[in-house]
Structure 1
Amino acid sequence: MDKLTAIFRSYGPEYLQQHGAKVPPQHRKVIEAILRCRTPESGTTIYRCEHCGEDHVLHLGCGNRHCPICQYRKGRQWLERQLERQMPGAHFMLTFTVPEPLRPFMRSNQRLAYSALFAASSEAMKRLAKDSRFIGGDLPGFFGVLHTWGRQLQYHPHIHYVVTGGAIASGTGQWMPSRNEFYLPVQALSLIVRAKFRERIKKAGRLGEIPSSVWKTDWNVNCQAVGDAEGSLKYLAPYVFRVAISSSRIVSVEKGRVTFSYKKKGSSRPRTREVSALEFLRLFLQHVLPWGFMKVRYYGFLSPGCRMPLAEVRARIQIAHGFAVTVPKVMPEPQPPLSCRQCGKELEGYRLILPPKRKPEKRARTG
């Protein structure tokens, strides 16, 4: 059994009992989903071997986006889709991180704050991409992924963006490439994202809840070249649908204590942190997102609403580079078929048992 799942099954009921009504509805839903994942409560598929007649029972996953087992498969599927949509040429990864004094407000007002961070950071990139000193195009293409955790499971909200190196100038339709090792100035991005975030919080009437020091502090923006699209996508894919911590980092679970490994930034030496199992669940659950919140968002010509087909964007990029850049043809890795444990032959689906109906849950809106 997955180690993280085992912790939830061993200590999740105790956590719910101890905290009772204080457990937010979305946290309770995650606990209950992981507890029933790969059990008859999530449904069952029965496979039959046509060669030897052996039946194989496979309980289905819960599908919850915070479940470590279910998210691995979603990550692979996402990567295959994105590789089909990749662009030629250089790519960059930009990361926007909020300052420490702002994080308590964000934790208590997640829907508002996360939406504001997405809007402020994406608008900052679009604004500077228009500047002819940098790119000079008003239709860039990028997508962002929200993460809320640090290496020790602390609350550390930030957004990773993967950006195609350039933008289309809508007036001429020409692809305006960025420099190979430089996309946009991070200091200017820092100032713009801070101002735009402040505007949105002020518009929501919540500005007085944030320490004034937040607006005097430089916001951390990092930009690095990551090579072609395939390399950047494969680098980011494990992070897109990952949960706050993977089972591979859990060293031990003994006598109600959980020990997990981590590495400090800039160091390759592994370290460990030990907490009670209930505290471990609290640390994990603080990264559960609000109901229905989209943690992956697409912008510019990568947006589903863009009228310009991706094939046309690719062609314009190749023309601008004198056809010196191409999109590598990537074949999806074939998934091995399910095989019979008795004779090794391939299994075929035989019967599906649906999960029992559950009472609809009342969804309480969160900040």
Structure 2
Amino acid sequence: HHSCRNRRCPQCQTRAKERWLAKRREERLPVPYFHQVFTLPHALHALVAGGALRSAGECKSPKRGFLFPLRTLSRVFRGKFIAPLSDARGAGQRLAEALADEKLWHALHQQLYGHDWAVYAKQPLGGPEQVLEYLGRCTHRVAISNERLVETDKTTVRFRVRATPGKRVLQ
């Protein structure tokens, strides 16, 4: 049993990742999915259901691989992402300095709308489970896993790394 709950602990993060994956599996619908990457100022990965719910309650599936044209999806996502920031400013909510200060907000707003937000979408090769596993590794990753640790003492940590060219292990 290991209950330090430190986000840098490989054992605790593995358990946290498994709990996170179990919850995501329960939420998953029996529909096709896409792995989408939205390139904001940083990359945002998402597992997106490949369909839309119509007002009558049935699911609409994509005709040609994707439900929406990616360029349109990029613009709509950017607007939907930025709109709540603008709404929060107008509602007088407590905000980060970059959102509260008028000049900083204007500069940030211009920067966010100043370039296209690219969207990359593909059907996951191994299905949605493969994407969930990938996202779980990304969200619950620790810098050095237990398998890579060689030796530790009060002042030193030695660990293995793989040298890319020859794929030999270094210590």
Alignment TM class, shorter chain as reference: 0.5 to 0.7
Name the structure 2 match of 1:166.
Answer: 51
Counterparts in 2 of 1:196 and 1:166: CA distance versus 1, 3 Å: closer
CA–CA distance in structure 2, aligned partners of residues 225 and 253 of structure 1 = 42
Name the structure 2 match of 1:187.
Answer: 71
1:30-57 Cα deviation digits (max 9, x unpaired)? xxxxxxxxxxxxxxxxxxxxxxxxxxxx
Q: Secondary structure of 2:38's partner?
A: strand
Q: Secondary structure of 1:221's partner?
A: strand
CA–CA distance in structure 1, aligned partners of residues 52 and 151 of structure 2 = 50
Task: Say yes or no: does 1:242 pair with 2:141.
Answer: yes
Q: Secondary structure of 1:218's partner?
A: coil
CA–CA distance in structure 2, aligned partners of residues 197 and 270 of structure 1 = 44
Alignment check: 8 A CA contact 2:74 2:116 kept: yes
Aligned-residue offset at 1:172: 1.2
Q: Percent identity?
A: 26
Name the structure 2 match of 1:279.
Answer: none
Tell me the TM-score normalised to structure 1 length: 0.33
Aligned-residue offset at 1:166: 0.8
CA–CA distance in structure 2, aligned partners of residues 192 and 89 of structure 1 = 23
Q: How does 1:58-77 map to 2 (within 5 A)?
A: 60-77=2-19
- Structure 2 unaligned residues grouped into runs of 5+: 90-98
Counterparts in 2 of 1:258 and 1:191: CA distance versus 1, 3 Å: farther
Task: Say yes or no: does 1:79 pair with 2:21.
Answer: yes
Aligned-residue offset at 1:85: 4.2
1:138-174 Cα deviation digits (max 9, x unpaired)? xxxxxxxxxxxxxxxxxxx4322112211221x2111
Alignment check: 8 A CA contact 2:31 2:51 kept: no
Alignment check: 8 A CA contact 1:168 1:174 kept: yes
Residue identity matched to 2:70: V
Counterparts in 2 of 1:189 and 1:260: CA distance versus 1, 3 Å: farther
Counterparts in 2 of 1:89 and 1:194: CA distance versus 1, 3 Å: closer
CA–CA distance in structure 2, aligned partners of residues 249 and 270 of structure 1 = 20
Counterparts in 2 of 1:253 and 1:223: CA distance versus 1, 3 Å: farther
CA–CA distance in structure 2, aligned partners of residues 96 and 167 of structure 1 = 19
1:235-290 Cα deviation digits (max 9, x unpaired)? 433233224x3437979999979999699xxxx8699xxxxxxxxxxxxxxxxxxx
Q: How does 1:1-367 map to 2 (within 5 A)?
A: 60-99=2-41, 157-169=42-54, 171-179=55-63, 181-202=65-86, 203=89, 204-206=99-101, 207-210=105-108, 212-226=110-124, 228-243=127-142, 245-247=143-145
Larger-gyration structure (1/2)? 1
**What RMSD over aligned residues (CA atoms) do the two structures have, in Å?**
3.9
Counterparts in 2 of 1:250 and 1:88: CA distance versus 1, 3 Å: same
Tell me the TM-score normalised to structure 2 length: 0.62
Aligned-residue offset at 1:61: 2.1
CA–CA distance in structure 1, aligned partners of residues 158 and 76 of structure 2 = 41
CA–CA distance in structure 2, aligned partners of residues 89 and 269 of structure 1 = 41
Residue identity matched to 1:240: T
Q: Secondary structure of 1:172's partner?
A: coil
Aligned-residue offset at 1:188: 1.8
Aligned-residue offset at 1:225: 0.8
1:180-213 Cα deviation digits (max 9, x unpaired)? 7324332222223333444444424341352844
CA–CA distance in structure 2, aligned partners of residues 260 and 187 of structure 1 = 43
Indicate the larger mover: 224-233 or 202-211: 202-211
Alignment check: 8 A CA contact 1:167 1:177 kept: yes
Aligned-residue offset at 1:71: 0.9
Number of positions where the alignment pairs a residue of Structure 1 with one of Structure 2: 150
